[in-house]
Amino acid sequence: MIDVACIEPGPGFDDRTRITPETIPDAAIESRVGAGEARYWKDCFDCHPDHARGVTDRAIEIGFFESERRGGREYVRQVARYPDDWFGRIVGIENKPDLGTPGNLENQLRTDASLGLFDEAILATASHVTGAHLNRIPEAIGVWRFDPETETREIVREPTPLAPTEPGLEPLDRGATQTDVRVVSVAEKTRTRRRLAERAYGKGWRTYGFPSCEKIEPRAYAGTNGLPFCRWKDRFVHPAAECAVSCPGHDPADPPDVDLESERDHRSPWVRDPDGQRRRQAGLDRFG
């Protein structure tokens, strides 16, 4: 899986925001539940009925399906037609701060280039990038060097556009003399891209929590509120990577109360509380 996926809105983005702020399960999108006439839920899935039931319940809960009962059976339909064009380009960024400990990086980048799931793929690093590094990185992969001291980014090499609308090759087993590959169809790539975009839409932005540490506080930077600033390190920190009880400055305390969802709603095209949701929830409240 990619470290960062940058998903650009497509023409149907507004339609998507009106449905639900949550991730819509792929099985619900793929099912035969349409936006027209309501259908008996069991007739709409090819998977195991338990899974189909779980997906149906979740789709109703997040407001993607609406249901009605007829003759003791539950019929469902989409509240609005799912807009397949809600996202556009997807740029994948592999984060490898230290090229001195590359781990599996080279194989990962070769997979990114040959699979072509993204429109572009980029390696971001804080290391000095040498010619020897560049020779080992597939030509299509762009390279950024980020200097954490000055917070500047140098584009060492521009990415070459990949081909998400053509079949790709996924290397399976790299032997000494040969590599087994699997051909990945356009349909499979399209579905994987949609799953990735849906996951990002629901999960969003700044997916970390604030640590249970007295030294952390939310501060603003460049017009963005609620960023994690550590008074002990006297700088912004990445809680998932830097904060733990093993940190020498750690001082146990309740995490600050930060409303990241409001900030996301305010700063991005994601809509926290779409009108349709509000109407449905108001409707439900009346029966609560």
The residues that touch ligand SF4, with contacts defined as CB under 6 A, are: 211, 213, 215-216, 230, 232-233, 237, 242-243, 247, 249-250
Nearest residue (CB) to ligand SF4, 58 versus 219: 219
The nearest distance, CB 205 to ligand SF4, in angstroms, is 20
Nearest residue (CB) to ligand SF4, 211 versus 226: 211
- The span from the CA of 268 to the CA of 42, in Å, is 37
* Number of C-beta neighbours around residue 221 at 10 A: 11
The nearest distance, CB 236 to ligand SF4, in angstroms, is 10
Nearest residue (CB) to ligand SF4, 62 versus 213: 213
Q: What is the DSSP string of 18-69?
A: HH-SSPPPHHHHHSS--SSS-EEGGGG-SS-HHHHHHHHHHHHHTTSEEEEE
The nearest distance, CB 147 to ligand SF4, in angstroms, is 21
> Six-digit token pair at 248?
């020498």
Nearest residue (CB) to ligand SF4, 238 versus 286: 238
- The span from the CA of 64 to the CA of 43, in Å, is 18
User: Rounded to the nearest 5°, which phi and psi values hold at 240?
Assistant: -65, -30
Nearest residue (CB) to ligand SF4, 169 versus 247: 247
- In the numeric block, the tokens 């305010």 are attached to 266
Nearest residue (CB) to ligand SF4, 249 versus 276: 249
The nearest distance, CB 256 to ligand SF4, in angstroms, is 10
The nearest distance, CB 96 to ligand SF4, in angstroms, is 22
The nearest distance, CB 245 to ligand SF4, in angstroms, is 8
> Six-digit token pair at 104?
């599996």
- In the numeric block, the tokens 């080992």 are attached to 136
The nearest distance, CB 230 to ligand SF4, in angstroms, is 3
Q: What are the b/e assignments for 143-171, b being 16+ CB within 10 Å?
A: bbbeeeeeeeeeebbebeebebeeebbee
Nearest residue (CB) to ligand SF4, 145 versus 215: 215
* Number of C-beta neighbours around residue 183 at 10 A: 9
* Number of C-beta neighbours around residue 20 at 10 A: 22
